[in-house]
Amino acid sequence: MNVSKKFRHLAGVVLGAAALCLPATLSAQGTSQNPPLGQTFTPSASELARLTMSGSYLAARHAGTQRDAGAAAAYYRAALRNDPKNTELLQLAFLSVLSEGDVEEATRLAEQVIVIDKNDRIARLVIGVKALKQKKYQAAKQNLTQSVRGPITDLAATLLAAWASYGANDAKGAVEAIDKLQGAEWYALFKDLHAGLILDLSGGKKEAGKRFDRAAKLDGSALRIVEAYGSWLSRNGNKEEALKVYKAFDAQLPRHPLITEEMDLLNKGKTVPPIVDSPQTGAAEVLYGLGAAIGRRGGENLGLVYLQLALYLAPNQPLALLSLADLYEQVKNPELAIKMYERVPQNSPLRRNAEIQLATDLDSLDRTDEAKQRLGKLIAEHGDDTDAIMALGNILRSRKAFDECADVYGKAIAQIANPERSNWLVYYFRGICNERAKKWDRAEADLKKALELFPDQPHVLNYLGYSWIDQGTNLDEGMRMIRRAVEQRPDDGYIVDSLGWAYYRVGNYDEAVKNLERAVELKPEDPTINDHLGDAYWKVGRTLEANFQWSHARDLKPEPEDLVKIKQKIASGMPEETSVANGKKKADGEATQPN
């Protein structure tokens, strides 16, 4: 598992199985004034003052399409100041301000929205959450119960209102309201978790345990259910059973920082505190759980709203911060993701993971030196931090510092006492770096080791098989490996290209054309694959089509050394003998995104 994918497990949806059932909703806001992709722009007061209402509106719309919620909110506010009675602008300004995370101002706008539409569910939700934060529990319930309209909002409103009831000293009514809620099958996980949390805090220990146990049986891989149940067991004299619950989770997702910390507490003879301790943190848990789940299922806008409200109630909740950062990365806004990572408390077990992902985002913004510096500091402090080592290796590999990245992956391999199947990736990555650094003997050994750990892994089969054929050695075995890779991943353009180019290298040009045409269909934007197809066309006498493919490859911004060769072919056609170097495929392009 690569670092980015592992992080997503850490940021994690509170209820894994339920997330798969959640519907997609709206899309996220996002960047204006055409800053570099992933970077935000904040207009100054003087810039806003110069704009007309229509200018502000158009700028806001553009900021939204560029996924810059901050700029969109600033422009919509400016437009609204110029036309304060415009209901469309009011609604857009409200949603943008809320998405930006300014809940106080969003509440003021929400009050204006419900004057126009008393049933606006998002406005009612925001007003209810603000009242809950202020411990005005009756007002919170009144507004939250009016924010229902659909499966997600019904569940959110019921659970939030239940936490308001608990705050008003009516735990019994809170649990009864949760139990009465009817809905989708996946509701059960949320209902049992939050009923259990309310019962646990209000003294209903025995019944709380039953709810947690039931939820854990429904989904023992859900992080927050495991934490809640393990905590309850530890505080009710059942340390061994608590450890059993944690270890079962650890077997599925090893070394999760929160689970590791909780097991350490138990092993030291201590108890694990509850995951929430007040109506406010309980409500934040509702919003975090739903927001993280919705955001992953295509509902970025609603997910963003829920996560911002969760952080309004619990500003330092690390899982909510990580989930919001994850959502920003999902909509390709690493600059805002970085701001969320920076907010993760220093004493949180998840801070290290935030630092690693923060460095990855810095690199995506071409702030690579900063990224390397941060990761270098982590590695210096904890020499056995393989996640940080892998992240640094990945950055160096993507930046084509192949000698250096091979050395860095070597440090991760040095930490492995007994290599297991899960370790195949680091050997594979080091093999890529050694091959690209023209150290084939080392590369071949690494790739063979990766296959030993994970036989039939398609990316390794592809890379090793292609490399052999490209070098003119082990042709039959290399072809068998690539065919096996294609069988497993028939829609992977890079791997299909490898098969086509392997046929080309052994002189079977008809099969080469057939497979390379398929590869171009799968990856039409890749210059190397288009170049390969041009070469194959030339060999079968389809010279006009060959020149078309080479011209297309030229326009797709190939590597400088490849561009020179492509231009030569466009000018003079193929030479009599095709060099091995000309056939060198950028196999690590796909390797940067393995499963």
Pair 556, 525: CB distance under 8 Å: yes
Does residue 58 have a pLDDT over 80? no
pLDDT tens track for 205-232: 999 999 999 999 999 999 999 999 999 9
pLDDT of residue 353: 95
Does residue 200 have a pLDDT over 60? yes
pLDDT tens track for 108-160: 999 999 999 998 999 999 999 999 999 999 999 999 988 767 668 889 999 99
- Taking the C-alpha atoms of residue 358 and residue 375, their distance in angstroms, rounded to an integer, is 10
Query: Residues 236-258: what's their mean pLDDT?
Result: 94
Does residue 291 have a pLDDT over 90? yes
Q: What angle do CA 9, 14, 16 make, to 5 degrees?
A: 70
Percentage with pLDDT > 90 across the chain: 72
The CA–CA distances, whole Å, from 364 to 162, 194, 327, 360 equal: 42, 38, 16, 6
Share the mean pLDDT of the chain. Answer: 87
- Taking the C-alpha atoms of residue 196 and residue 84, their distance in angstroms, rounded to an integer, is 46
What is the DSSP annotation of 418-435? Answer: S--GGGHHHHHHHHHHHH
Does residue 79 have a pLDDT over 90? no
Percentage with pLDDT > 70 across the chain: 83
pLDDT of residue 299: 80
End-to-end CA, the chain: 7
pLDDT of residue 585: 42
Does residue 287 have a pLDDT over 60? yes
- Taking the C-alpha atoms of residue 445 and residue 83, their distance in angstroms, rounded to an integer, is 69
Q: Residues for the chain: how many in total? A: 595
pLDDT tens track for 405-452: 999 999 999 999 999 999 999 999 999 999 999 999 999 999 999 999
pLDDT of residue 25: 27
Query: Residues 566-573: what's their mean pLDDT?
Result: 96
One-letter identity of residue 208: A
Q: 3-state class of 147 per DSSP?
A: coil
Please name which of 263, 296, 283 lies closest in space to residue 22, comparing C-alpha atoms: 296
Q: pTM here? A: 0.82
pLDDT of residue 4: 46
- Taking the C-alpha atoms of residue 474 and residue 472, their distance in angstroms, rounded to an integer, is 7
Token pair 């400088």 in the structure block, residue: 560
With bands split at pLDDT 50, 70 and 90, how would you rate the model's confidence at 67?
Answer: low
